[in-house]
Structure 1
Amino acid sequence: MTDPTPPSPAKRAALDWMDANEAALSRDHMTIWNLHEPSWREYKSCAWYVARLRAEGFEVEEGSAGMPTAFCARWSNGPGPVLGGYAEYDAIPGRSQAPVPCRQPREGVSRFAAGHTDPHSALGIGSFAGFLAAKHAMETQGLTGTLKFFGEPAEKMCGSKPVHAAHGYYDDLDAAISFHPHSFAALANSCFWDTHSAPYWSRIYTFECPDPETWGRINSGQGGSGSSGVQHGHSAARAPGAIDAVCLMYTSSKYMKEAMLPHTGSWSLNEFIPVAGMAAADNLAPNIGQIQYSLRAPTLAMCEQVFAVLDRNAEHCAAMSHCTVASAWITKTRPGLPNHAMAEITYRNLELVGAPRWSEEAKVFGREIQTGLGLVPMDDPFLPEIQRLVPPQEGEKSFRAQLPPWQVNLAADDYVDYTWHAPTVRLYVGRPTLAPPEPGFRYPEWTRHAMGGVPACIDPMWATAGRVIGATLVDLLSKPALLERAQAEFRERTGGGIGGSTWVAPLLPKDFQAPVDYRWPEYVTTARGEGWTIP
């Protein structure tokens, strides 16, 4: 798959732009890393991207598809392909970590505050850098076409991309690039081939107890509360209420979990309780409670089956606890659709750029972590896999070795919604990961989170991605045959493109309103100053 030809003048212009701007982009990355805002609450991070993109000449729609922390930016240099990509910038609650070689929350915030884990701060800057590099090449080398760059909030909830897709934002794309820091060591610097991410569905159930006084309305006159004429709320039987409903839902669904799906394949179901209570006194029934279920499963049919069980459980739990129940989707994604042509184009540019390389400064930080953990520091503390390339077909073999033959999708990420609207590549680049001292050893998660805030450690990853993305965009703009091959494959896989016989439409309705008004974790400002709040 190696392309022996030297870079074209346009591609050289994109790569040179990256060289000239890498230091400034490193500072930009730290700006987003230091904001560390959680899903649906990335106000400052989104505003930073909007301002920067406008300064670069993009037309930017803020709040795209009704999402306050999303955007859609567009820059055109004349007629030609419309190429898409995106930034993510949400951080994860409970993962506050300072950029130091020991477990230490960031200074000045709660240890339960959010922190970048993947990190999306670098994911966003890497993609942003690639699009700016391509824009520079277009301006200086006369390439025509349109760059469409999205701000995609709440990726950890697979939140925004299904909403953008449902509202039609991807329908005019000719191709798209999805970049992510590596998640699989065997595929650290590569592109997905056949096995793409699986569907991710999430639903929230809201239990309410609107009429607690009707519980036990028919009484026996015993115990001082019936016909005796002595009636008092403290001595009456209290309605179970919404906390009981949530507890019943939680436990009954745990009991039912092993009966939801066959014991084969890779799937997971997790829950989150954003609200439990709202009762101001011990004799009042808690009037509202919520529980969110999030499922990763290989097929849409499996998702339907699990939520049919959960819906039944919710109805029964509401009836037992004297509550009503309402359900609402948080997200519904589709399974990822491969595109070999896009993977090959992108991987050739990864070969041109090469795998990330880490400096002695980065290695010193890695050794300090190892020493602090009581390990013997290594000359090169970083995992060998993140420093070499893996052809997509070889990475695919690693996936297939651990999956049953019928399972063609694994894990979850909402980039999959791009794949049903345009030929899309999923690019992986190795993020800083420490080498284990022995097989089976696992480093604490904070080690990766800390390295995400150390420029010497994290910059090689996003800078490599930026170069690959910029070069790939140039190829798609300057070599029509490459783009046509990718689009022909897309049409074949979808039975004719968008609306084709095997095309899967967005799973959310066209008028879907993003779930931004729930009590998600966030930073708040009160008379006491800025603080972190957990529902």
Structure 2
Amino acid sequence: MPKAELTPAKKTALDWIDTNRDRLSQDHQTIWSFHEPSWREYRSAAWYVERLRAEGFEVEVGSGGMPTAFCATWSNGDGPTIGGYAEYDAVPGQSQEAVPYRKPREGVNRFAAGHTDPHSALGIGSFTGFLAAKRAMEQHGLKGRLKFFGEPAEKMCGSKPVHAAKGYYDDLDAAFSFHPHSFPALANSCFWDTHCAAYWSRIYTFECAAPETWNTSAANVGVAHVHNVARAPGAIDAVCLMYTSSKYMKEAMLPHTGSWSLNEYIPIAGQATADNLAPNISQIQYSLRAPTLEMCEQVFAVLDRNAEHCAAMSHCTVTKAWVTRTRQGLANHAMAQITYDNFELIGPPQWNDDARAFARELQKNLGAKPMEDPFAPETQVLTTPQEGEAWFRSQLPSWQHNISADDYVDYTWHAPTVRLYVARPALRAAEGGVRYPEWSRYAMCGYPACIDPMWETAGRVIAATIVDLLTEPEHLRKARAEFEERTGGGIGGSKWVAPLLPKDFAPPVHYRWPEYIDTVRGAGEWTIPTQDPSQQASLEPK
């Protein structure tokens, strides 16, 4: 039997979800259709702000100096403050229509963004839970305060470290972090001890500001042209040297144990200028996932040294700027247990005949035999947090206590926080070596019958758990006591890790991140690339 009970207040919250299910499904489709990438989620953020204000929340727009972030609050009197959030950034290059075959979205560049995790449903799931809890609070007189954040750029682990550094989480009594499942053995569950790892990202900007000083001994005499003298290597050479040297050094950065990854992105590689002038600017971004902060420090010490040497060799200067720095996740068993207890009460997501028919059509189009039940069995059952933890420990070295990366970890150092996983639709493994491409998962994430059970289940679990936290003070007392013990006294305690960004940190919104823009060539142009080569003629003025 479930340990949590279906109280009248919980029933009110769940009934509200039943009543509003169709509208919420349409809401999800709205955010999914925006498919805006990190730091450029203008329409998605504006939609949430408008809806939250219509629901009676007070909303600070652009919280933490981030144009596409927000902080919304609603109070029903003195009581605990419960936090949660929506994410809504999509991933460049992952465009896919909600159809059972490969088809990038119509009306946009084929390299446009798409929801992969999907954050569209992540946000609507949390949004559903908080609105349902609000309804229960109103009808049953439950005292407390809801604090709901808009968190942009999760794919860069961008906003939560900023909100944390600027004090937005300091007044929370508890927080919810919901995510579509990432680990098959933990599809419907909560993290126990093993939480997400640290994620650090930095941009190196190389500039060749004084190319004329590269070879001061060169003589310009007779009929020789000034461009015939030796040209400074410049910023393109700098970024190429940085890219290759850091690849060569990668295996020497950290011990060959534990899971970690280092990836790079080049936002700028020179400028479209005369070929005989030294390119004057380039940038490269490095992003690291690592289990410990010490490993992060070590990797970026190597990268910093490389950058200085590459700048010197190419006659450039280099500046370094953080994009983000997260901490490691901090467990809270009390929050995980009460949330999972309500998950048992609600049950795992269930898919109807419409969803199964869509999934079978996917299997057929991918060369697999359509199955009576095309969805992975793990997605249709619950896994206790303790069982999930045992699975993690069987996969990881004994010293590694954090894995993967997500910036929710910054919530965990300011309030007792649960990491809730609910299964998104995933195809059952096929025989004959058929491997399902990623786009097939993205297609299901946009098809209502496939994706709605996930966000609806998450909303139900979150709403029920918020009601428990507000009606049974012992749950919050236990969670807070555990938080105090793990941090050595709470915020500022002896074991507490402070935010890794300064309070005056300027969010990295000014870089050349991919986005949709309006130009004289038309509306909604995708900056990477501007157009397909076959369409280039259409860019010429008429």
Q: Fold conserved (TM > 0.5)? A: yes
Q: CA deviation at 1:439?
A: 8.5
Counterpart code for 1:16: D
Distance 1:312 1:439, change over 3 A: farther
Counterpart code for 1:302: M
Q: In the aligned structure 1, how far is the partner of 2:74 from the partner of 2:134? A: 8
Counterpart code for 2:444: M
Aligned to 1:358: 351
Aligned to 1:222: none
Q: In the aligned structure 1, how far is the partner of 2:366 from the partner of 2:496? A: 50
Q: CA deviation at 1:362?
A: 0.3
Aligned to 1:236: 229
Taking structure 1 as the reference length, the TM-score comes to 0.98
Aligned to 1:497: 490
Q: Is the 8 A contact 2:202 2:287 kept in 1?
A: yes
* 1:533 counterpart (496, 520, 527): 527
Aligned to 1:110: 109
Q: CA deviation at 1:440?
A: 6.6
* 1:378 has 2:351 as partner: no
Moved more, 315-324 or 209-218: 209-218
Counterpart code for 1:25: L
Aligned to 1:282: 275
Q: CA deviation at 1:438?
A: 3.1
Query: How do 1:124-523 and structure 2 match up within 5 A?
Result: 124-219=123-218, 226=219, 228-438=221-431, 441-523=434-516
Counterpart code for 1:135: K
Gaps in structure 1 of 5+ consecutive residues = 220-225
Q: In the aligned structure 2, how far is the partner of 1:227 from the partner of 1:441? A: 66
Q: CA deviation at 1:442?
A: 3.0
Query: How do 1:65-80 and structure 2 match up within 5 A?
Result: 65-80=64-79
Aligned to 2:2: 3
Cα deviation digits, residues 114-138 of structure 1 (max 9, x gap): 0000000000000000000000000
Counterpart code for 2:465: T
Cα deviation digits, residues 478-509 of structure 1 (max 9, x gap): 11011000000000000000000000000000
Q: In the aligned structure 2, how far is the partner of 1:516 from the partner of 1:227? A: 44
Q: Is the 8 A contact 1:182 1:188 kept in 2?
A: yes
Aligned to 1:223: none
Aligned to 2:56: 57
Q: In the aligned structure 1, how far is the partner of 2:199 from the partner of 2:9? A: 39
Moved more, 355-364 or 2-11: 2-11
Q: In the aligned structure 2, how far is the partner of 1:26 from the partner of 1:457? A: 11
Q: In the aligned structure 2, how far is the partner of 1:163 from the partner of 1:231? A: 55
Q: Is the 8 A contact 1:520 1:534 kept in 2?
A: no
Q: CA deviation at 1:443?
A: 0.9
Q: Is the 8 A contact 2:188 2:422 kept in 1?
A: yes
Name the SS of the counterpart of 1:110 in structure 2. Answer: coil
Counterpart code for 2:143: T
Q: In the aligned structure 1, how far is the partner of 2:265 from the partner of 2:489? A: 40
Counterpart code for 1:12: K
Counterpart code for 1:406: W
Taking structure 2 as the reference length, the TM-score comes to 0.96
Q: Is the 8 A contact 2:202 2:286 kept in 1?
A: yes
Cα deviation digits, residues 113-166 of structure 1 (max 9, x gap): 000000000000000000000000000001000000000000000000000000
Q: In the aligned structure 2, how far is the partner of 1:465 from the partner of 1:103? A: 28
Name the SS of the counterpart of 2:303 in structure 1. Answer: helix
Cα deviation digits, residues 287-327 of structure 1 (max 9, x gap): 00000000000000000000000000000000000000000
Moved more, 404-413 or 439-448: 439-448
Moved more, 383-392 or 228-237: 228-237
Counterpart code for 1:113: A
Name the SS of the counterpart of 1:169 in structure 2. Answer: coil
Distance 1:488 1:478, change over 3 A: same
Q: Is the 8 A contact 1:233 1:283 kept in 2?
A: no
Distance 1:440 1:198, change over 3 A: farther
Q: CA deviation at 1:441?
A: 4.8
Q: In the aligned structure 1, how far is the partner of 2:431 from the partner of 2:393? A: 25
Q: CA deviation at 1:390?
A: 0.1
Q: CA deviation at 1:6?
A: 3.6
Q: CA deviation at 1:333?
A: 0.1
Q: In the aligned structure 1, how far is the partner of 2:33 from the partner of 2:226? A: 51
Name the SS of the counterpart of 2:68 in structure 1. Answer: coil
